Amino acid sequence: MEGIKSAMGHRITRAASHLSVDEVKERMNMDPRPWVREHWWIIYNALVAPRKADEIALHTGVSATTVHRVISTYNRLGPAAVETPGKGGRRHEYLTLEEEKQFLAAFFAQAEEGLIATTAEIWRAFETRVGHPVDDSTIYRLLDRHGWRKLMPRPRHPKADPQAKEQFKKTLQRRLKRQSQHGQPKMSDLC
């Protein structure tokens, strides 16, 4: 059993020679995406100086699991394995960004006229546009993507003086009391 453990820990990680070292180096320097450059760096290390995955991981600043995964996919699929779009992104979108801009244009125009555009209204219109129900988080992400933010009336003015407000309440109560004593009709009398 001890012999098996020691044999497993000494496995050398090698990259298949789909591309020359110079081509790998060129691709590593040319791609603007950092994660793609990182993958090419792992492949470059495995081509130039094949060694244990742990050592390549230490040299490149990634985990040994990442080294195994990148080298395995590269060896099986070649350079196309590294040139993938990646994990993230909007691959299952309801509308393209341009279609979203056109969809929101009517609501932008409405907001510029001073009318309120609610998320519920936008939500109903969006569901009509795509032809099926969508989750509310879809609408909030859509609005965030296009720079909309939730605006609500503030509960009080930021420069309001609380003492002046209290003074006004006191004088208002006195004035209302005087008016009711002088025979002016009350609201309850009018109804």
Is there a domain that residue 40 lies in? yes
Instruction: Identify the CA nearest to 67 among candidates 86, 49, 84, 46.
Output: 46
User: How many domains does the structure of the chain reveal?
Assistant: 2
Q: Is residue 121 part of a domain?
A: yes
Rounded to the nearest 5°, which phi and psi values hold at 152? -135, 155
Overall average pLDDT of the 126-153 stretch: 88
Structure tokens at 136: 């509310």
- Do 76 and 127 fall into the same domain? no
Q: What is the mean pLDDT of the chain?
A: 84
* Boundaries of domain holding 120: 97-145
Residue 180, domain member (yes or no): no
* Residue 16 belongs to some domain of the structure: yes
Q: Check if the beta carbon of residue 44 is closer than 8 Å to that of residue 24.
A: yes
Pairwise CA distance, residues 88 & 68, whole Å: 21
| pLDDT tens digits, one per residue of 108-117 | 888 888 788 8
> For 98-115, what is the mean pLDDT?
88
pLDDT confidence of residue 8: 47
pTM score of the predicted model: 0.49
Verify that 77 and 102 share a domain, yes or no.
no
Does residue 20 sit within a domain?
yes
CA pair distance 72, 13, nearest whole angstrom: 9
Confidence class of residue 135 from pLDDT cuts 50, 70 and 90? Answer: very high
Query: pLDDT tens digits, residue range 57-86?
Result: 999 999 999 999 999 999 999 998 888 777
Same domain (yes/no): 60, 131: no
Count of C-beta atoms within a 10 Å radius of residue 9? 9
| Residue 153 resides in a domain | no
Rounded to 5°, angle at Cα 94 from 34 and 104: 95
Question: Do 71 and 137 fall within a single domain?
Answer: no
Tell whether 36 and 72 lie within a shared domain.
yes
Higher pLDDT, 175 or 164: 164
The CA-CA-CA angle for residues 178, 179, 185, to 5°, reads: 145
